[in-house]
Amino acid sequence: MTDSTPATDIENSATTAPIERDRFQDYALPEPLMRAIDDLGFEFCTPIQGRALPFSLADYDVTGQAQTGTGKTAAFLIALLTRFWENPLPQPLPRGTPRALVLAPTRELALQIEGDAEGLAKYMGATTVSVVGGMDFTKQQERLAAKPVDILVATPGRLIDFLERRHVNLSKVESLVIDEADRMLDMGFIPDVRRIVYQTPHKRHRQTLFFSATFNETVMRLAQSWTIDPEHIVVEPDSVATDTVDQKFWLISGNKRQQLLRDFLLVKQPKRAIIFANRRDQTHRLVSYLSQKGIQCEGLAGDIPQKKRLSTLNRFKEGKLQYLIATDVAGRGIHVDGVTHVINFELPEDPEDYVHRIGRTGRAGAEGVAISFVSEDDAFNLPALEEYLGNQIKCVQPEDLSDATATE
């Protein structure tokens, strides 16, 4: 996949894959769908795809435990598109009445899913529309009213707005997909999700595909209440024990973080890097600081207007922007091959966020580097991270970056 090609969740499927992995052609998928998959250059299924597709294609409910970036988006989109192709409607549904609903916790992830759906459905005539917060409501309404929609991808809050104004009718939903359920729980969306689910047909009259990175007691109860005898699939996150990411932990003084980041970017000049910060105000300070030092970068945080965020993300995907400063929530929409470095300007409090961050590099079989700055301010996060990773973390002094002054 080239840098200019929109990223898709059909990942790690290069022709170098082991022969024992399932191939998409093994599933007797519709010819136009297979043509789109071939255009994207993929042949082999990822683990979540290979384990979920036999059940989702047979109309079973599925609960899947898998991290973002493991291929689950394609796993459920392929099932939806195959269902539509094999069961054409005698006549189109009214406008704003989707056949499938996909709920996602963030705008970036919802837009990523919409893009993947468009790539997979380009020879099938299926229509995908997203309704997400932070973007023009009227334009989204116009897209819904333009023609019948097959797949509606939505964030919960914005979808509630459309439902209350009766611009969307969920009574004909054949397939319901709930993506990143644990993140929705963390963000307080579950009451809205529950309201939305109750407006779809009863679970006996729809297929439900439920995905979550973790299945704690609360998430498990939600899955049980919204599915019927689901096939439960667990795919352990590759990035916890990945061999493709060289993880480094640099012990530094807290007041030296910015200088170290500047020196590293000036001396090592990584080809494409994402720098993660814990708070959006920190992302703005970093963008300002690095820009003043002549380092081109842009921020991706929740308080940045959505239009600018999309423009920034697209430039990064296309290789026109070298360095991206992001928070964890904003970073959930970043699925880009070719990221050479991830830099944790601060250690995240949640070990799962660390795994998600370093998973932005070392993708599709490529090698990557993850560097974490560790000071007395966040060293107390190390024990939980060591337990989650299953190995001891060794903090070392930063590499010699003495050329930085000469470079400036």
> Is 5 inside a domain boundary?
no
The predicted pLDDT at position 99 comes to 97
Q: What percent of the chain has pLDDT over 70?
A: 88
pLDDT digits (tens, 9 = 90+) for 89-121: 999 999 999 999 999 999 889 999 999 999 999
> Is 4 inside a domain boundary?
no
Statement to judge: residues 285 and 158 lie in one domain: no
Statement to judge: residues 229 and 244 lie in one domain: no
Round the average pLDDT of the chain to a whole number and report it: 86
pLDDT digits (tens, 9 = 90+) for 41-83: 888 888 899 999 999 999 999 999 887 667 889 999 999 999 9
| pLDDT score of 23 more than 70 | yes
Q: Within the chain, how many helices (H) and strands (E) appear? A: 16, 13
Model confidence at 13, in pLDDT bands (50, 70, 90)?
A: very low
Statement to judge: residues 311 and 199 lie in one domain: no
Sheet holding 151-154, edge to edge: 128-131, 151-154, 100-103, 175-178, 207-212, 62-65, 231-234
Residue where a domain terminates, one of 182, 204, 236 = 236
pLDDT digits (tens, 9 = 90+) for 239-287: 444 567 899 999 998 788 999 999 999 999 999 999 999 988 999 999 9
Residue where a domain terminates, one of 218, 236, 254 = 236
Residue where a domain terminates, one of 182, 208, 236 = 236
> Is 207 inside a domain boundary?
yes
Statement to judge: residues 88 and 119 lie in one domain: yes
Q: Domain range holding 114?
A: 24-236
Statement to judge: residues 360 and 260 lie in one domain: yes
> Is 1 inside a domain boundary?
no
> Is 402 inside a domain boundary?
yes
This prediction's pTM: 0.64
Nearest-angstrom CA–CA distance, 248 and 391: 13
CATH code for position 310: 3.40.50.300
Statement to judge: residues 148 and 87 lie in one domain: yes
**H or E stretch including 383?**
helix 382-389
The predicted pLDDT at position 407 comes to 44
> Is 331 inside a domain boundary?
yes
Q: Within a 10 A sphere around the Cβ of 14, how many other Cβ atoms? A: 14
Over residues 146-171, mean pLDDT: 96
pLDDT digits (tens, 9 = 90+) for 192-202: 999 999 999 99
Statement to judge: residues 118 and 152 lie in one domain: yes
Nearest-angstrom CA–CA distance, 274 and 346: 13
pLDDT top residue among 328 and 345: 345
- State the total domains in the chain: 2
Statement to judge: residues 243 and 224 lie in one domain: no
